[in-house]
A = this chain, B = another copy of it.
Amino acid sequence: MDMTTQIDASNDCAGVSSLLNRVGDKWTVQVVVALQDDARRFNEIKRRVAGISQQMLTRTLKSLERDGLVERCVRPTTPPQVEYRLTELGRSLSKPVKELAEWAISHRAAIRDNQVRYDTNR
């Protein structure tokens, strides 16, 4: 990919922002990470994503499914089993997301310092 590409604000940014808005909500990334290796069941995901409510997990999975990033697979047993797994599209998204994650992790301290400095000088 050409890293020198200039992003055209007027044409592309709306779409990019909406994706970032989508993927930047409180839970989406954590759910995707919980699914990065294997397919998982509802409560399995819930256990892996600390602090999420059933409500928010349901909503998050549903919109991920709507975007085609996650596949839902129902097995009509009793009790019913529902498995979620990343689609190919979902896995492809996790690459750039991981890069952003790496950035966040390596600059987290610097940002915190900047914030503290800003807040105290204020």
Which residues of A line the B interface, CB within 8 A?
1, 3, 5-7, 9-10, 12-13, 15-17, 19-27, 29-30, 33-34, 36-37, 48-50, 65-68, 89, 92-93, 95-105, 107-108, 110-111, 113-115, 117-119
DSSP class of A's interface residues: helix, strand, loop or mixed? helix
Nearest CB of chain B from residue A17's CB, rounded to whole Å: 5
Nearest CB of chain B from residue A24's CB, rounded to whole Å: 2
> Are B17 and A20 in touch, CB under 8 angstroms?
no
What is the copy number of this chain in the assembly?
2
Q: Tell which of A15, A22, A95, A104 has the most Cβ of chain B within 10 Å.
A: A104
* Given A16-B105, A17-B26: A98 touches B10 (CB 8 Å cut-off): no
Q: A13-B49, A67-B111 are in contact. List 9 more A-B contacts (CB 8 A).
A: A7-B36, A12-B101, A16-B104, A19-B100, A21-B25, A24-B25, A92-B107, A96-B102, A97-B100
Q: Complex: how many Å from CA A22 to CA B20?
A: 10
* Given A65-B118, A100-B100: A9 touches B34 (CB 8 Å cut-off): yes
Subset of 11 A-B contacts with CB under 8 Å = A3-B98, A5-B102, A6-B36, A7-B33, A9-B50, A21-B24, A21-B25, A23-B100, A67-B114, A89-B110, A96-B100
